[in-house]
Homo-oligomer: A and B are copies of this chain.
Amino acid sequence: MKAFVYRENGNSALEEKAKPGIKDPGDAIVKMLKTTICGTDLHILKGDVATCKPGRTLGHEGVGVIDAVGPAVTVFKVGDHVLISCISACGKCEYCRRNMYSHCTTGGWILGNEIDGTQAEFVRTPHADTSLYPVPSGADEEALVMLSDILPTGFECGVLNGKVAPGSTVAIIGAGPIGLATLLTAQFYSPAQIIVVDLDDSRLAVAKQFGATTTINSEDGKAADAIMKLTGNRGVDTAIEAVGIASTFELCQAIIGPGGTIANVGVHGKKVDLHLELLWSRNIAITTRLVDTVSTPMLLKTVESKKLDPKQLITHHFKLTEILEAYKTFEHAADTKALKVIIDA
Contact = CB atoms under 8 A, between A and B. Distances in A.
A311 interface: no
B269 A277 contact: yes
A315 interface: no
Contacts of A264: 276, 280
A287 B290 contact: no
A99 B99 contact: yes
Given A102-B283, A288-B280, A190 B302 contact: yes
Nearest to A130: B92
A168 B284 CA distance: 23
A148 interface: no
Given A103-B283, A258-B103, A192 B307 contact: yes
B71 A302 contact: no
Nearest to A290: B281
Interface stretch (A174-182, A221-229, A293-301, A332-340): A293-301
A270 B277 contact: yes
A26 B70 CA distance: 13
Contact of A189 (B189, B244, B270, B304): B189
Q: How many identical subunits does the complex contain?
A: 4
Contacts of A244: 280
A192 B301 CA distance: 6
Interface of A: 25-26, 71-72, 74-75, 90-92, 94-100, 102-103, 129-130, 165-168, 187-190, 192-193, 213, 244, 249, 258-259, 264, 266-277, 279-290, 292, 294, 297-302, 304-305, 307
Contact of A285 (B190, B259, B270, B287): B287
Given A92-B74, A92-B129, A190-B307, A276 B271 contact: yes
Nearest to A281: B290
Nearest to A259: B100
A272 B283 contact: no
A82 to B, nearest CB: 14
Contact of A301 (B167, B268, B279, B307): B167
A94 B273 CA distance: 30
A305 B259 contact: no
17 contacts: A26-B74, A72-B72, A91-B97, A95-B258, A95-B259, A97-B130, A99-B99, A166-B307, A168-B301, A192-B301, A192-B307, A249-B276, A264-B280, A268-B280, A271-B274, A273-B274, A274-B286
Contacts of A98: 259
Nearest to A306: B192
Contacts of A282: 288, 290
B258 A100 contact: yes
Given A102-B281, A271-B277, A166 B91 contact: no
B71 A72 contact: yes
Contact of A283 (B189, B259, B288, B304): B288
A304 B129 CA distance: 33
A72 B284 CA distance: 33
